[in-house]
Amino acid sequence: MRAIWKGAVSFGLVSIAVRLYSATEEKDIRFHQVHREDGGRIRYKRTCSVCGEEVTYDDIAKGYDIGGGEMVILSDEDFADLPLSTSRAIDVLEFVPAEQVDPILYNKAYFMEPEGTATKPYVLLRDALRDSDRVAIVKVALRQREQLATLRVRDGVLLLNTMLWPDEIRKADFGFLDEDISVRPPELAMASSLIDSMAGDFVPDAFTDDYRAALQEVIDAKVEGREIVQPEEQEEAPSAAVDLMAALKASVERARAARGEAPADTDEGEARPATPITAAKKAAKKAEPAAKKAAPAKKTAAAKKAEPAAKKAPAKKTTRKSA
């Protein structure tokens, strides 16, 4: 990995020299725009909309549109004079419980590596964060922009998560929030049963990007000149259900079947969540008829074997001698 930033974490009077590395990478398959007839790359020229001339990067500045066709142009000197006191420092502002940070605020993640002789204070901050069950709220300047971020521990490494500012989060303003919609208790119970039937532990490696894999297969087939195998069609999403309760019941049974579980007991059309006790009782009830059927079957089989033997054996005659 290549470091994208070097600076220091300011932790009270302690300064910890660190390097930042991107903790994530996109795996999307990228394409170039080409001419369909000959495969030539499509190039774009940077031209001025006023004079029509092609412009080099050195002659390009940043402009802010103030409306009415007017533009304010900012130079590199204007950005250099901005008060970015944290240009090469990560200032720790406070330590807060991790659950108080809404995940919607998180933006990008970076690994943090100690540099030079900063390993011991780095490990000290890491262990203190881990033992406190808190995250550090910090400010850092990346790419000429001051950002709010958190410091937390992941796999023994300090992880910097840049965050969006609160005014960058949109408000969820939708009409249905003002409607008076009531959910019946049986519907809520069935929905909870569906959640229970689909509950599990999150294992990220269990999920794959099937679309990307299929697209890569198409590309490989094109390169090798072989026939492209069409991927299996995915099951279409069901249309909007008219009967919500029936859809929930069917969903519960499908989820149980997918896990190899038996259908849940029902009472008056309502599903009951399976528990270890009810499951044991149900298994015992199923075992009783099988045991009863097995016993007569054995007796019958034994009797059938004994009958031919009895027929073949001649009866012994008892004779009495007269005195």
Bigger pLDDT: 289 vs 186: 186
pLDDT of residue 294: 47
Cα separation of 186 and 142, whole Å?
A: 52
pLDDT tens-digit series, residues 67-78: 888 889 988 888
Tokens 């009782």 -> residue = 281
Instruction: Answer yes or no: is pLDDT of 221 > 60.
Output: yes
Instruction: Answer yes or no: is pLDDT of 309 > 70.
Output: no
Lowest mean per-residue pLDDT among 103-107, 119-123, 200-204:
200-204
pLDDT tens-digit series, residues 13-50: 888 999 999 998 888 888 999 999 998 999 888 999 88
Instruction: Answer yes or no: is pLDDT of 240 > 80.
Output: no
Bigger pLDDT: 254 vs 125: 125
pLDDT of residue 302: 46
Q: Single out the residue of 106, 110, 101 nearest to residue 164, CA to CA.
A: 106
The reported pTM is 0.65
pLDDT tens-digit series, residues 78-116: 877 776 655 688 989 999 999 999 999 999 999 999 998
State mean pLDDT over 53-73.
90
Bigger pLDDT: 271 vs 126: 126
pLDDT of residue 109: 95
Tokens 């690994």 -> residue = 111
Bigger pLDDT: 248 vs 204: 204
Given pLDDT bands bounded at 50, 70 and 90, which one contains residue 9?
Answer: very high
Instruction: Answer yes or no: is pLDDT of 160 > 60.
Output: yes
pLDDT of residue 246: 83
